[in-house]
A and B are shown apart, each in its own frame.
Chain A
């Protein structure tokens, strides 16, 4: 069971062992407008559409993983929700407090920016497998899989809040539910198409479905990540082989998409005073949040060791970066500083994690 979980996670590319954030984010920064300008601002603007599809794809991965584990691991699911909830509360709460004292020049509400940082910080990518051979901590891997859900939901709320809409309250309320609606509708379309399609045309349907999730969500100004989660969960929970089909097909190109997200995040890093001022509390209070969250989660599930869990959940992985990137798409002014803080923090946390987990024996 443990091996199956770890293989799934490694195959989905959510493990830092498979996708080293610390390699690709700095590479993106070096190629980006701040340094070499190979990935110029114009190129990044044109990549926006692909990034939306990549976010949707990542959401589908998360949805598939969460749905498959939540049914069999209810206590772990509760523990993961508590751990991520505590981290979000600690990071967002401290940033709201500091933003008020610092008079940060944010374009939108400080609360929304703080929620995005909290959500990006709450996502985890526990050390899992290196080359699929060595188990690091299966419990932490479970929790890391499950604790992506709340950050994605909070990130979706922040994205929907950040996009200016008409003064009608119903439009704003509808925007909160739009990712779920898009995910369900497109998920249903995919479900109807995948199994009946011939093998040669199935790939086209899969890519088209993902493009539809990402495109529709981005056009409506809501989170493609959340829409993808809903679709992935739908495919996993509905009868049939839709989940297996899409997992098999996506396995062929998920690495390039995740790589694209990390390179894009690196290229989006803008060395600014605001980014530095967000980076410092993000690092400090994310660490605090993970430790407190790990302790709180261990109260729910006795199988968890608080200290170990907190340590293993330190690296934010791709999902945290994706949440920040998603916000940056709809709110470029603040988003650039947030992506910079989160991407740089992800690199730092991965180094911290490598040191901590190297000294700790498998659980």
Chain B
């Protein structure tokens, strides 16, 4: 009897289980006949754990990060004044008169300066060494025990994300948030590690601007190119600066010129010239080495063996040329490719007055146009500006560039040279001091 009771109980449990199973299966089949009434919604990206509490990104938080960064890098950034250039300004709208030089040791800083500016900064004593091919300028900085910034490895950069761009003004460094949509490695034969192309940017930075991560690590120095920034990584800059330090200053080599002015291609010029990359010739000096060879409207695509896809690349290549050694330019003229040989000359030969800080070109039948004025120079103090045309000098109307230069050189010490200047629609007379 006692054994029969559990057996009966188990039998009842088993029957109950079978009934449960049958009812459940029936319920499952019944429920499966229905359809959810709402359409599937778009997939949502779930928040990270505790994100709702801890990670509410606001502009105030970003501002706070940038304020901290500003304080952190203030002693690591030095404002390097730029010298004049002989060629047309780069495509970017804002060309600063200063570029940031970033400390790489207690008494040295490195900046990215286009070759001709680099020569000028070297000439006025700002730079201790220059690598014109890469546009690297090393400057002697006031001794400081502030540590140089930690270098960020390119692989650590997350995109999309924010970096910080640093430019400098006369009053000091300025930090800006820099949204980067994409980071790509870009091999360049001039450098021992790939450059970085930052694209998908909300805003551009001026030539030579420094890039930092938001926690203060130094990414590199940037050059604008179309709608991207080409960044020379900090490690490559450091190695180039070290090589320059062991080799000594190289700024004593005179800058070279092809006697032309160029500008970058925008979309309209690309469409008009059928060129996808390159720089377009805007002026050919009548007495320069390219006279009779190049024409306004020619698109230079290569200088020697190297591509000249942008102003920066063109300038870097020209800076590497040797004086009096012909170089082949790959040119697109009227949509037809051509190879033209030009022999570079020293820039100061007949068109520049280094003593006055003035660079000129001849405007046939009118006078000499001011191409560049070195900041702080005698020409700058006399208020000459790029774009001015000297229509009278040394008693002569319509002097060419060589005549003005000669008149300046022949001026006795302490005397001044009266020049007639046309600035836009106004006519002025100025006194240029002798040296």
List chain A positions with a Cβ less than 8 A from chain B: 45-46, 48-49, 52, 90, 94, 97-98, 101-105, 107-108, 162-164, 218-221, 273-274, 277, 280-281, 284-285, 288, 291-292, 295, 298, 305-307, 329-333
Smallest Cβ-Cβ distance to B23: which chain A residue: A288
From A90, A94, A220, A291, B16 is in contact (CB under 8 Å) with A291
Q: Please, how many angstroms separate the alpha-carbon atoms of A292 and B20 in the complex? A: 8
- Judged by a CB distance under 8 angstroms, whether B37 is at the interface is yes
B47-99 CB contacts (< 8 Å) to partner A: 47-50, 52-53
Question: Contacts A46-B53, A332-B47; is A295 near B13 (CB within 8 Å)?
Answer: yes
Q: A218-B50, A219-B49, A307-B13 are in contact. Are A281 and B31 (CB under 8 A)?
A: yes
Q: Is B143 an interface residue (CB 8 A)?
A: no
- Chain B residues in 8 Å Cβ range of A221: 48-49
Docked complex Cα distance between A213 and B38 (Å): 40
Contact with A along B13-35 (1 / 0, CB 8 A): 11011001101100110011111
The answer to whether A164 touches B46 (Cβ under 8 A) is yes
A330 touches B46 (CB 8 A): yes
B36 and A285 within 8 A (CB)? no
CB closest chain-A residue, reference B40: A105
- Bound form: Cα–Cα A298–B12 in Å: 13
**For the complex, what is the distance from the CA of A265 to the CA of B247, rounded to whole Å?**
71
- Contact status A218-B49, CB under 8 Å: yes
CB distance from B160 to the nearest CB of A (A): 16
Interchain CB contact under 8 A, B32 and A291: no
A107 — which chain B residues lie within 8 A by C-beta?
41, 43-44, 46
- Say yes or no: A45 contacts B52, CB within 8 Å: yes
Contact B24 A288 (CB under 8 A): yes
- Contact of A98 (CB < 8 Å), options: B12, B32, B44: B32
Tell me whether B45 is interfacial, beta carbon within 8 Å: yes
| Minimum distance in angstroms from B15 CB to a CB of chain A | 11
Q: Which residue of B lies closest to A289 (CB)?
A: B24
Told that A98-B28, A105-B39, A295-B17 touch, could you supply 8 new A-B pairs with CB distance under 8 A?
A103-B40, A163-B46, A219-B50, A220-B49, A280-B31, A284-B24, A284-B31, A333-B46
Of A46, A164, A285, A306, most buried by chain B (CB within 10 Å of CB) is A306
Least distance between A338 CB and chain B CB atoms (Å): 13
User: B9 an interface residue at 8 Å Cβ cutoff?
Assistant: yes
Nearest CB of chain B from residue A310's CB, rounded to whole Å: 9
Is B39 in contact with A284, judged by CB distance below 8 angstroms?
Answer: no
**A331 contact from B21, B23, B46, Cβ within 8 A:** B46
- On chain A, the residues within 8 Å of B12 by CB distance are 307
User: Which residue in chain B gives the minimum CB-CB distance to A217?
Assistant: B49
Closest A residue to B56 by beta carbon equals A45
Instruction: Report whether A285 and B24 are in contact in the complex, using a CB–CB cutoff of 8 Å.
Output: yes
Q: Most chain-A Cβ atoms within 10 A of its Cβ — which of B33, B39, B44?
A: B44
Minimum C-beta distance from B17 to chain A (A): 5
Residue from the list A49, A98, A273 in contact with B50, Cβ < 8 A: A49
> Contacts A291-B17, A295-B17, A306-B13 known; A273 to B37 CB distance under 8 Å?
yes
Q: Which residue of A lies closest to B33 (CB)?
A: A101
| Complex contact B53–A298 (CB within 8 A) | no
Chain B residues numbered 317-343 whose CB sits less than 8 Å from any CB in chain A: none
Expressed in whole angstroms, the minimum distance between the Cβ of A97 and any Cβ of chain B is 7
Q: How far is the CB of B89 from chain A (nearest CB, A)?
A: 44
Which residues from chain A contact B39 at a C-beta distance below 8 Å?
105
A48-B32 Cα distance, complex, nearest whole Å: 36
Q: Are B13 and A298 in contact (CB under 8 A)?
A: yes
| 6 A-B contacts (beta carbon < 8 Å) | A45-B52, A49-B53, A98-B32, A107-B44, A332-B47, A332-B52
Provide the bound-state CA to CA distance between A218 and B50, in Å.
Answer: 7
